[in-house]
Amino acid sequence: MVAVELDEIDLAILGELIEDARRSYREIAKRLNVSVGTVAARVKRLESLGVIKGYSAIVDYEKLGYELTVVTEVTVSKGRLLEVQREISLIPNTVSVYDVTGTVDSIVVSKFKNRQEVSNFTKKLLSIPYVERTNTHVVLTVVKEDPRGPLLKELGRALPGRERMPEEPREEVGGYG
């Protein structure tokens, strides 16, 4: 896949939206010292290029009762990886499905309210044709979980004219060590 070429204004607009997707075009234009029309046209272009895939809230799943995050390694047989991954992606608790290198074929991240849901999910995975085996890891502590990824900090630091850095993601420190 070829990376999309973005200029400084595109990156600045993207940075503003990553920081707060509810920010209006008018507010973004004012913060970046460009016209509202420029912001609107650039956002439409970023959407049409697939750089901006959509807009959503960053949710604290634990506050909604999803206390368990699970990372599952999946081994698939007979060259049916994409077919199996598509099926796994349709299971409601699935957050992410990755095609990976190494000793397993795929990594699945999922969220659950209780152990019984984890058990049902694991049994569902094992019932999918061509799934040879799974290895399930229950996350004990979430140190960082931010879907905005490296762009939040990278764009906030790299762009001229930014008045401040975007807020850093919240990090929880456990009682270890």
Same domain, 65 and 131: yes
d(CA 105, CA 69): 20
pTM of the model: 0.76
Q: Convert the pLDDT of each residue in 42-69 to its tens digit.
A: 999 999 999 999 998 888 999 999 999 9
* DSSP SS3 for 74: strand
CATH number at 112 reads: 3.30.70.920
Range of the domain at 82: 61-138
Q: Mean pLDDT lowest for which of 81-90, 126-135, 149-158?
A: 149-158
52 within domain boundaries: yes
How much is the pLDDT for 157?
Answer: 52
pLDDT at 169 over 50: no
Same domain, 29 and 79: no
Q: Convert the pLDDT of each residue in 81-91 to its tens digit.
A: 999 999 999 99
